Amino acid sequence: MSLSVAVVAALTGLAACGSDKGDKAVGKTVTDMSPLAALRSAEQSTDKAESAKVRSSTSLGDTMSMTADGALAWGGGLKGNLTITYTGGKMADAMRQAGSTSMQARYLPDAYYAKMSDKFAQQFGKHWIRYAYDDLAKFGGGSGAYIKDQMQNTTPNQSVKLLLASGDVKKVGKEKVSGTDATHYAGTVQVADLAGKNSNLTAEQLAGLKKQLSQAGVTTETVDIWVNDQSLLVKKIEKATTANGVMTSTAYYTDYGVKVSAEAPPAGDTKDFKDLMKSGGVTGGTGSGTVS
């Protein structure tokens, strides 16, 4: 499994991140609402959000397990900083061979940057790899276009939108999340159909994505979300069975409105992903990315 796949997997593993800003939230509580009304309220309040801290973990069979910790902002385009650590699987082995299982991830509206190890820099001359979303779209075909779409539209309410689009939403009950009262909602979504409902892909791109999802063995995905009494998403869990094993993604959201600043790394210490591909420095693929 290549380093580029690892980074793309990390990139898309955070694509369903979600949260909200408290002082901009819809005032009505979700306690007495129907499940659909409560989720629509959460979606609307999250649309008004600007930033949040996120802590997540993602696993995909024996391919990878990883954690991410940091903060993201989405007003005017995605930006933020995360520390991504591979804790197991083939991805961790590949990263370990490259010198470190942990890396800095920097998100900007037009590209994603990954800071690799000193060992990587000694071999390729740069510490940072720049993954332009347009390049990912060109490289990955339909799946690459989906990655680009998800990354550039990664607002915290994506998990809520998934559940709303499923048409299968139920209220599980009241639970505590990190010491905060929250209402738990759950449902099952049809993954291939869902991508069409929640993206701006062309028919050709969507057909390519559906083909890849089918090849990966993904037909359905379960989504669980927890919303606090201010209509803010505080936790989400997504699970799907794929050809590479069971995918599970869990995320927690706090500190809505936190200040987030992110700038492109020094150009002199940055190498474009497409240039690495041309030179044969790393091999790549997006096969695991769209389901992680």
| Model confidence pLDDT, tens digit, residues 218-229 | 778 888 999 998
Task: Look at residue 286 and tell me if it is in a domain.
Answer: no
Compute how many other C-beta atoms are within 10 angstroms of the C-beta atom of residue 259: 9
Which pLDDT value is given to residue 173?
94
pLDDT at 266 over 90: yes
Mean pLDDT of 74-84: 86
Task: Look at residue 7 and tell me if it is in a domain.
Answer: no
Task: Look at residue 287 and tell me if it is in a domain.
Answer: no
**3-state secondary structure (DSSP) of residue 291:** helix
- E strand residue ranges, the chain: 51-60, 64-73, 79-88, 102-108, 111-115, 128-132, 170-177, 180-190, 220-228, 233-242, 245-254, 270-272
Domain CATH number, residue 242: 2.50.20.20
Which pLDDT value is given to residue 283?
37
Domain count, the chain: 1
Which pLDDT value is given to residue 169?
86
pTM, entire model: 0.80
Which pLDDT value is given to residue 127?
93
Task: Look at residue 285 and tell me if it is in a domain.
Answer: no
Tell me the residue range of the domain where 227 lies.
Answer: 36-279
User: Pick the residue with more confidence: 20 or 268?
Assistant: 268
- Highest mean pLDDT: which of 38-42, 80-84, 167-171, 253-257? 80-84
Q: Which positions ≥6 away from 198 have C-beta within 8 Å? A: 158, 161, 162, 165
Alpha-carbon span 215 to 119, nearest angstrom: 35
Which pLDDT value is given to residue 281?
55
Alpha-carbon span 236 to 99, nearest angstrom: 32
Task: Look at residue 127 and tell me if it is in a domain.
Answer: yes
The DSSP letter of residue 230 is T
Give residue for tokens 């037909």.
219
Strand partners, 79: 73
- Note the pLDDT tens digit of each residue in 95-148: 888 888 898 999 998 898 999 899 889 988 999 999 888 887 776 665 566 666
Task: Look at residue 110 and tell me if it is in a domain.
Answer: yes
Task: Look at residue 22 and tell me if it is in a domain.
Answer: no
Which amino acid does the sequence have at 47? Answer: D
pLDDT at 153 over 70: no
Task: Look at residue 290 and tell me if it is in a domain.
Answer: no
